[in-house]
């Protein structure tokens, strides 16, 4: 048994080494991904539930590596945060997203908005506001068509600094959305003090949404609160027609999810613009 235990240890530490090696390899590849032009953005439509029309999209980063294949942002964004690479990647995302949205507006879809995810280290950076201004200036996108998605975790990392930055964004005319709403541990009291335009209900509440469940009570409460605070409410992760129907009934403003569309490559999003209607 002792011998076996020893072997087991050996086995685990080999596995751990592999894990460490993979992380190191990933990091060295990630350092060169921008210069090698390995990133692209996918766009997932956001639909107005009252009209069924697309009013915008969320930009979601993709990393296509020649050897590793498609690496998910869930895997490399945390690494980008740890290594500081998030600054350059975040700047690239912001600029590319504004650029592509402006292109669609110029094609005749002038109402389209773009939502961009912002990570904690990016948001806390002193230069963040300047980077947002720069992306808007360089692409010509009007500020009201840009929404920045922040999680509660991002905001609450340094609440006093976050308030200053959010007020600056509001002055600029850029919109702010609280992402993954309902999963944080924060008190609700900050909602009335912060300049927030949208609450995005986390998909874990939407995924199992059915009548007579506790999830519906939570979703209903968030939507009611949104109406009371005059902020728009988005439901993300909508996967069934039943969920759409319930959300409409609850007067949720916007929806996003696989039932409507998966995140699409830029070209496919563009092709779909005319047809996409629920």
Binding residues for ligand C2E (CB under 6 A):
44, 60-61, 72-74, 77, 93, 117-119, 179-180, 203, 236-239, 257-258, 263
Tokens 């010509």 correspond to what residue?
A: 140
Four-residue CA torsion sign, 66, 71, 77, 82: negative
Q: Which is nearer to Ca ion, 29 or 234 (CB)?
A: 234
SS3 for 77? Answer: helix
Write out the two tokens for 196: 């927030």
* 8-state DSSP, 144: G
Mode of pairing for the β-strands spanning 254-256 and 113-117: unpaired
- Partner from ligand C2E, Ca ion, none binding residue 105, C-beta < 5-8 Å depending on class: none
In the complex, the smallest distance separating the C-beta of residue 10 from ligand C2E, rounded to whole angstroms, is: 35
Cα 106 to Cα 42, 112, 113, 139: the distances in Å are 19, 10, 13, 12
Task: Name 148's bridge partners.
Answer: 116, 176
Mode of pairing for the β-strands spanning 146-151 and 264-265: unpaired
* Diameter of the chain measured on Cα atoms: 72
Q: Which is nearer to ligand C2E, 2 or 132 (CB)?
A: 132
Provide the CA 187 distance to its chain's centre, in angstroms: 22
- Partner from Ca ion, ligand C2E, none binding residue 148, C-beta < 5-8 Å depending on class: none
- Partner from ligand C2E, Ca ion, none binding residue 44, C-beta < 5-8 Å depending on class: ligand C2E
Q: Which residues bind Ca ion (CB under 5 A)?
A: 117, 149, 179-180
- Partner from Ca ion, ligand C2E, none binding residue 56, C-beta < 5-8 Å depending on class: none
In the complex, the smallest distance separating the C-beta of residue 112 from Ca ion, rounded to whole angstroms, is: 17
Instruction: Give the CA angle between residues 75, 68, 261 to the nearest 5°.
Output: 60
In the complex, the smallest distance separating the C-beta of residue 234 from Ca ion, rounded to whole angstroms, is: 9
Q: Which is nearer to ligand C2E, 153 or 195 (CB)?
A: 153
Q: Which is nearer to ligand C2E, 215 or 236 (CB)?
A: 236
In the complex, the smallest distance separating the C-beta of residue 58 from Ca ion, rounded to whole angstroms, is: 6
Q: Which is nearer to Ca ion, 105 or 117 (CB)?
A: 117
Mode of pairing for the β-strands spanning 198-201 and 232-236: parallel
Q: Which is nearer to ligand C2E, 146 or 193 (CB)?
A: 146
In the complex, the smallest distance separating the C-beta of residue 74 from ligand C2E, rounded to whole angstroms, is: 5
């Amino acid at each position: 048994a002792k011998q076996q235990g020893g072997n087991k240890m050996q086995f685990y530490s080999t596995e751990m080494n592999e894990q460490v090696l993979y992380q190191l390899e990933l990091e060295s590849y990630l350092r060169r991904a921008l210069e090698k032009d390995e990133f692209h953005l996918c766009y997932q439509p956001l639909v107005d539930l009252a009209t069924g029309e697309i009013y915008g999209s969320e930009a979601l980063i993709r990393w296509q590596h020649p050897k590793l294949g498609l690496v998910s942002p869930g895997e490399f964004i945390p690494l980008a945060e740890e290594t500081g690479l998030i600054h350059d990647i975040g700047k690239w995302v912001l600029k590319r997203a504004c650029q592509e949205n402006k292109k669609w507006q110029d094609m005749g879809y002038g109402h389209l908005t773009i939502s961009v995810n912002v990570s904690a280290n990016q948001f806390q950076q002193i230069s963040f506001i300047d980077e947002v201004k720069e992306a808007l200036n360089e692409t010509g996108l009007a500020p009201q068509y840009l929404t920045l998605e922040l999680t509660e975790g991002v905001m609450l990392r340094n609440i006093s600094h976050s308030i200053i930055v959010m007020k600056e964004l509001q002055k600029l005319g850029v919109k702010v959305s609280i992402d993954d709403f309902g999963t944080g541990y924060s008190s609700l009291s900050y909602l009335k003090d912060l300049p927030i335009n949208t609450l995005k209900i986390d998909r874990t509440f939407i995924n199992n949404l059915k009548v007579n469940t506790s999830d519906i009570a939570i979703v209903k409460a968030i939507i009611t609160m949104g109406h009371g605070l005059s902020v728009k409410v988005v439901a993300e992760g909508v996967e069934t027609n039943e969920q759409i129907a319930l959300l409409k009934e609850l007067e949720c403003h916007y929806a996003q999810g696989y039932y409507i569309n998966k995140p699409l490559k830029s070209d496919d999003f563009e092709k779909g613009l005319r047809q996409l209607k629920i």
